[in-house]
Structure 1
């Protein structure tokens, strides 16, 4: 205990050098642990976005793009699928429920998702959490809209407000549906998923917006069909972007997936979300390894900085070591003292780094989700983080043995003769 107190006071007497060394190690630990926590948090966030959905179905194409644009609202689909094909599988005897999704419009950079009541009834996230309303009701009229919590908060919209949707996904669009404004009838409770960053309308509302469009071209001035003259019975849904489905039994999931992928009516792709997410992690795994290598390199630099600081200060502490030897400390105790100092520095740097990275993750996980649309769940201390922490401290102790060995070998007379 006396040696530990002595090591602490020795470090305290060199507060500036000690603080800089602790800071360099803390920064290294922040990078190393931060990469791991961001990876784990991103995986947990993405995985928790969609639950209890067995298949995601879209036009023939890549499985990863289909998952990204239909569930996470990242990217765009290359083709739509016919509503007749959707109805065919919606009424399939192996299907429990389906959620149709139609994309293609936006509002101030937020995606517009056309769907039906099944979305509010069956969509699940974070295992068994369902869609809840913070205020208002589901959209019932053709031009009713429901806002995700982030949309309402960012744009300061309230119930009853009129909004104009834009054609396309650009933040600033030149083609607005000004002649067919929507009315906000509901605001969803926060989910911390991409659901928060979208505007939800009915499939009929999506058709009504484009009823006077031909081949993706807006009508000429004066040729628009007024919203007041559009009736639900006049609308016919032809296409949607994708749909989610849940089977009545897990056994039938693979059989139904094969049936959809070989469907002769039109080329379709059915994916299992969990498996496709694994493909995403494998793609991102190379970046994770690269960042981990960079972080580990920074950690090595931080530990070497500690070694340099202790070794450089050793020459100035020759008289201090000699005095300690003169008052009765054995050479082994001097060795232990230097090792304790390096252990205290590495432990303090590790503690500061861990505290800082978890604080930063807590402060910025919501802005990251809002700004970049990447779900970043808060995750606890993993075995890897514990391993990193003990590894840093152990490496610090090993490096501390180098100046400790030199101090151990310095003789009493050598220290007393030091100037």
Structure 2
């Protein structure tokens, strides 16, 4: 009965209560969104690559090398010559390598040129190997293997033809239309940038660029066909970067030093785990600032709710008098006010969670295709429940002031 009475009391003051719900909803949404995005982003970044000892690329910042080689964010400052790659790949300390060639796209998704070692040695999330939900790894020059998100969003299936675009824009006027690729495989969902990547052979990357200079096709219309290109030497001249797996972890630092001191080309080798830790250290300050701001906004909203309830105490004197006249105790009035505060907050939380889920649903494709971030809609984690519990406890504490005022009014 008390709960129903509290709910009807809120309905009777729907305008002021609605504004309060709106303000608390915004603050709770900000608090939950920051926490969820932080956790999901960290998880997405951490699980992206596993089992790779070093990543080698042209000399640049460590974070830049990690971002473009693993997360497909940004661009390389320079390329590595194929001869240098072969020399380092044949080092006796190296067990395997995965070459990476970036620069093209397909309808907004990054295209990565690589070889068969990618499907054999690349792993994610505690050394989980790549699996196929359909098809197989590429074998021919114009085969393509799609990430799960690419295939799902664009509706591709095995046997479909796709055309790559020169450059990274979602809309390109430089299409490699003379040489379409055939989809031969679709990788299982991984929750990593692999899902948003089109994988093709290095020879395919070379083939579609025969006769191209500075992003312009100079080979003549129709002359640059697949048969002519397959007859050419399709060994890459350069690659963007490569991942390294070593025979022994002991050799990690010596091989890294050898790469960093390589005299023929300016290169660098990074440890993915160490660079990721550096990335999160840099972002921790921003995370803490955003969290502090969201907490302050929440406190302001709860103070506003308490102020609103205090302001209505004088207007509700007659209501309390009637309740006392029919036998309600002062404790009943206190509990009623607290229930109203809690119900107001719970409605705000419900709306905030709904808005957060809808926001994730509508922005997930943009975040995954443009930034390689996978934000899960599974928001009900331990951290979220603790945050919501803290919000409810704060509501109870802020509700003490109007409850005490109602208690005094009802006694009088």
Q: TM-score range by the shorter chain?
A: 0.7 to 0.9
Does residue 108 of structure 2 align to residue 105 of structure 1? no
What is the TM-score of this pair, normalised by structure 2?
0.87
Pair 1:229–1:5, CA change in 2 (3 A): closer
How far apart, CA to CA, are the structure 2 residues paired with 1:86 and 1:252? 18
* Deviation, structure 1 residue 97: 1.8
Give 5+ residue unaligned stretches, structure 1: 415-419
Match of 1:227 in 2: 226
Pair 1:345–1:211, CA change in 2 (3 A): closer
Pair 1:377–1:254, CA change in 2 (3 A): farther
How far apart, CA to CA, are the structure 2 residues paired with 1:15 and 1:68? 50
Any conservation in 2 of the 1:42–1:377 contact (CA below 8 Å)? no
Match of 2:71 in 1: 72
Q: Secondary structure at the match of 2:259?
A: helix
Match of 1:174 in 2: 173
Match of 1:408 in 2: 407
What is the TM-score of this pair, normalised by structure 1?
0.85
Any conservation in 2 of the 1:44–1:377 contact (CA below 8 Å)? no
Any conservation in 2 of the 1:139–1:186 contact (CA below 8 Å)? yes
Any conservation in 2 of the 1:142–1:232 contact (CA below 8 Å)? no
* Deviation, structure 1 residue 381: 4.6
Q: Deviations over 1:252-291 (max 9, x none)?
A: 3233222222223322111122222233333433443443
* Deviation, structure 1 residue 201: 1.6
Match of 2:113 in 1: 114
Q: How does 1:233-382 map to 2 (within 5 A)?
A: 234-350=233-349, 352-354=351-353, 357-358=356-357, 360-361=359-360, 364-366=363-365, 368-370=367-369, 372-378=371-377, 381=380
Any conservation in 1 of the 2:41–2:373 contact (CA below 8 Å)? yes
Any conservation in 2 of the 1:149–1:187 contact (CA below 8 Å)? yes
The alignment of Structure 1 onto Structure 2 pairs a total of residues equal to 412
* Deviation, structure 1 residue 121: 1.0
Pair 1:258–1:301, CA change in 2 (3 A): same
Any conservation in 2 of the 1:41–1:379 contact (CA below 8 Å)? no
Higher mean C-alpha displacement, 244-253 vs 269-278: 244-253
Match of 1:55 in 2: 54
How far apart, CA to CA, are the structure 2 residues paired with 1:178 and 1:364? 30
Give 5+ residue unaligned stretches, structure 2: none
Pair 1:378–1:255, CA change in 2 (3 A): farther
Pair 1:387–1:132, CA change in 2 (3 A): closer
Match of 1:417 in 2: none
Any conservation in 1 of the 2:20–2:304 contact (CA below 8 Å)? yes
* Deviation, structure 1 residue 360: 4.8
Q: Deviations over 1:7-30 (max 9, x none)?
A: 455445545544543443233212
How far apart, CA to CA, are the structure 2 residues paired with 1:362 and 1:223? 43
Pair 1:340–1:212, CA change in 2 (3 A): closer
Q: Secondary structure at the match of 2:36?
A: helix
How far apart, CA to CA, are the structure 2 residues paired with 1:173 and 1:326? 77
Match of 1:39 in 2: 38
Q: Secondary structure at the match of 2:74?
A: coil
Higher mean C-alpha displacement, 231-240 vs 298-307: 231-240
Pair 1:348–1:116, CA change in 2 (3 A): same
Match of 1:92 in 2: 91
Any conservation in 2 of the 1:142–1:205 contact (CA below 8 Å)? yes
Q: Secondary structure at the match of 2:103?
A: strand
Aligned-residue RMSD, C-alpha? 3.1
